[in-house]
Amino acid sequence: MEKQELIPHLFRTEYRKIVAVLCRRFGFDQMETAEDITSDTFLAAAQSWSFKGIPPDPTAWLYNVAKNKAKNHLQRHTVFESKVSPEIKNGTPEFDEPDIDLSPQNINDSQLQMMFAICHPAISPEAQIGLSLRILCGFGIDEIADAFVTNKENINKRLFRAKEKIRNEKIKIGFPGPAEIEERLDNVLTTIYLLFSEGYYSVSQNQILRKELCFEAMRLCHMLIENNETNKPQVNALLSLMCFHASRFEARMGKNGEHILYDDQDITLWDADLISKGGYFLKCATTGNRLSKYHIEATIAYWNTQKADTKEKWENVLQLYNHLLQIAYSPIAALNRTYALSKANGKKEAIIEAEKLKLTDNQFYFTLLGELYTGIDNEQAKLNFKKALHIARSPADKQIIQKKIELL
C-alpha cells in the first residue's frame, strides 16, 4: 500500500486505539491532549515516511512514537507540577517511567471503557454520536460534518460543548459496576443504534461514508459481544438488526443515491452472508427473560430479508409492529406498520391508519400514501407524490418521485 493510502487507512484503524489508551492514562478531561499527541504522531509519520520510506511495521512505529510523545508529556507535566507545588521544597522531583500500554488487551479494554464514558447520561445524544465518531471510530471533522450534513464549525462547537460537559461533570473513564451496567448499557446501545441510523438513513450523498458509519456501529456492537460482562441478549439483538439492515444496503440505494422502496428492490443485491450472521446473532439473543425493542426490530428485519411475499409473512410483521409500538412508540415505526398493514389487510385499511399519523414533514409519508392510493384513487396518489416531491431533498429522490407522477 502506498504512503498516500496507508496513512489515512492507519488513521482510521489506529487513531481511535491510541486516543482511547491515552485518555484512560491521562484522564477523560485530558481528551484534547490525547488527541493532540495522537495527531502529532500521524504528522510525524507523514514527514518521516516521506524521507525514510515506510517502516517494516508501520503500526508498531506509530505506537512507539505515541508512547514516547506521551511519556514526554507526562514528564513535562511532572516537572511543571513540582515547580508550582508548595509541597516540593527543592531539588528535581523523581520521575517514574510511565507505562503507556498499547497491548491488544489494554486497547480493547480502553475502547470499551471509553464507550461507556462517552455514553454518560450527562452528555446529549447528539454529542455522544459526534464523540463516538471522532474518538471511537477515528472519523475526521470533515467526515463527521458530511455525515450530519452540516459544516465543520457546527461539529467543532458540538464537540467542544461535549468536552466541556465532561470536564464540568468530572466524568471518569471506567467500566460501570455490576449494578449499573444494565442501565448504562442501554445508553451505549442507543448511541450505537443512532450511529448506525445516521449511516443507513442519512441524506448525505457520500455512499462510502454512509457504509462506513454502519460498519463502525456494527464493530462497536461486536466489541460488546466479545466482552463477557456486556454480552447480553439485547446486544446480540441489536447486532442482528444491523446485520439484516446492512444486508439490503446495496439494494435500497440507486446508482445516483436515490432511495429504492422495498417492493422495487433487486433482491439479487441482498448480502446472503450478512443475512446469515443476522440469523446467528438473533438466535444468540433468545436467552434471558427480557424482550427489548431490538429483539422485535431484528425479527421484523429478519422477515424483510425473506423473499416470499405471503400473507403469513406480513401478518407476522404486522403483529411485531403492534408489539413494538406498545413498548417503544415512534412515528417512523408507525409509518412502517401501515406498509405491513397494506400487505396483510389491503390498501384501503392502510390508508385510514396512515392518514391518522399526519407526518406532513416527511417525504416517505407522502410517498407511501402515493403508493397506497395508486390504483384506488390515482388523482389522490398524484397529489401525495407531489407533496413528497416538494419535501424531497436529494435530486435523485426527486427524480424517482417525478417518474411515479408521470406514470400516473
Condensed to tens digits (0 to 9), the pLDDT of residues 210-256 reads: 888 899 999 999 999 999 999 999 999 999 999 999 999 889 887 77
Q: How many CB atoms lie within 10 A of CB 172?
A: 14
Inter-axis angle of helices 395-407 and 378-391, nearest 10:
170
Q: Residue 253 carries which DSSP code?
A: B
The one-letter code for the residue type at 341 is L
Q: Coil, strand or helix: which one is 259?
A: strand
Whether the CB-CB separation of 239 and 301 falls below 8 Å is answered with no
Question: How far apart are the two ends of the chain, measured CA to CA in Å?
Answer: 52
Look at residue 203 and tell me whether its pLDDT is greater than 90. no
DSSP-assigned states of every residue in 198-227: HHHS---S-HHHHHHHHHHHHHHHHHHHHS
Q: What is the pLDDT of residue 181?
A: 84
Look at residue 89 and tell me whether its pLDDT is greater than 60. no
Residue tagged 481528551 (cell numbers): 31
**Which grid cell sits at 212?**
462506513
- The Cα–Cα gap between 148 and 114 comes to 22
Q: How is the chain split into domains, by residue range?
A: 3-102, 103-228, 232-307
Total-model pTM: 0.86
- The Cα–Cα gap between 192 and 214 comes to 9
Whether the CB-CB separation of 30 and 23 falls below 8 Å is answered with yes
DSSP-assigned states of every residue in 327-389: HS--HHHHHHHHHHHHHHH-HHHHHHHHHHH--TT-HHHHHHHHHHHTTT-HHHHHHHHHHHH
pLDDT digits (tens, 9 = 90+) for 317-358: 999 999 999 999 999 999 999 999 999 999 999 999 999 999
The one-letter code for the residue type at 213 is L
Q: How far is CA 187 from CA 75, 236, 261, 284, in A?
A: 37, 15, 31, 21
Those residues whose C-beta lies under 8 Å from the C-beta of residue 101, and which sit 6 or more positions away, are 21, 25
Residue tagged 490525547 (cell numbers): 34
Look at residue 95 and tell me whether its pLDDT is greater than 60. no
Q: Coil, strand or helix: which one is 97?
A: coil
How sure is the predictor about 71, in pLDDT bands with cuts at 50, 70 and 90?
very high
